[in-house]
Amino acid sequence: MNIFRLAGDLSHLAAIIILLLKIWKTRSCAGISGKSQILFALVFTTRYLDLLTSFISLYNTFMKVVYIGCAYATVYLIYMKFKATYDGNHDTFRVEFLVVPVGGLAFLVNHDFSPLEILWTFSIYLESVAILPQLFLISKTGEAETITTHYLFCLGVYRALYLFNWIWRFYFEGFFDMIAIVAGVVQTILYCDFFYLYVTKVLKGKKLSLPA
Amino acid sequence: TDKTTGHDEL
């Protein structure tokens, strides 16, 4: 555990909680992609199956349980409790175009051809692109609520901090996980355009809106 | 590294 890793995990946690609170407080999931949230629930489910097979630390177990629990709570709020406010007409990204290729790639490029390891690999690849339906929704509506942009910012910062964590671990522990690193770089790059808008607009007090 | 012992990152 190093400072980048801890800060990354906390940023990830902050993102998840910001989203849950936003939906709960406003009683609305307008502007939120339910599809991205289903993908994240799938990511956590397939990645944390090792909860059943190996114990790493209390911290590790606690965070995994919280991430999974929050992911399903978010999906529940979007598709059940506040279904009436769900922006289904704009949330039209075809997720099969992500899940199918990512599933194929997980079978082809993995550390070990075993069920748990393939599912872990699948989750890593899927996480790197799971935000695309959300970004697609924003590009369709042309705007995002400020609180939604805070959520996205925390989520992007989390993966960027993990990149620093991997640099740290490479130098000080000789740890090197090519699959996680490549997927993490891809994931971080997907947020770059958003980071730019966040810094130039949201941080200056303006609403994030895209030019028509 | 032993890949069967699980991944320590989240």
Which of A50, A162, A165 has its CB closest to that of B6? A50
In a domain, A207, yes or no: no
In a domain, A77, yes or no: yes
Report how far residue A128's alpha carbon sits from residue A40's, in angstroms, rounded to the nearest whole number.
10
Residue type, A2: N
pLDDT digits (tens, 9 = 90+) for A68-103: 999 999 999 999 999 999 999 999 999 999 999 999
What does the H/E/C string look like for A181-211? HHHHHHHHHHHHHHHHHHHHCHHHCCCEECC
- In chain A, the number of structural domains is 1
Chain B residue numbers with beta carbons less than 8 Å from the beta carbon of A47 are 7
Question: Which residues share a beta bridge with A209?
Answer: A143
In a domain, A43, yes or no: yes
Whether ipTM tops 0.85, in short, is no
Domain extent at residue A41: 3-88+95-201
Chain B residue numbers with beta carbons less than 8 Å from the beta carbon of A65 are none
In a domain, A111, yes or no: yes
**Structural contact between residues A134 and A15, judged by C-beta atoms closer than 8 angstroms:** no
pLDDT digits (tens, 9 = 90+) for A116-151: 999 999 999 999 999 999 999 999 999 999 999 999
Q: Tell me, what's the pLDDT at A210?
A: 85
| DSSP 8-state assignment for residue A115 | H
In a domain, A210, yes or no: no
In a domain, A60, yes or no: yes
Chain B residue numbers with beta carbons less than 8 Å from the beta carbon of A56 are 6, 8
In a domain, A25, yes or no: yes
The alpha carbons of chain B give a radius of gyration, in whole angstroms, of 7
Is the sign of the CA dihedral A133, A135, A138, A140 positive or negative? negative
Place of tokens 């939120």: A32
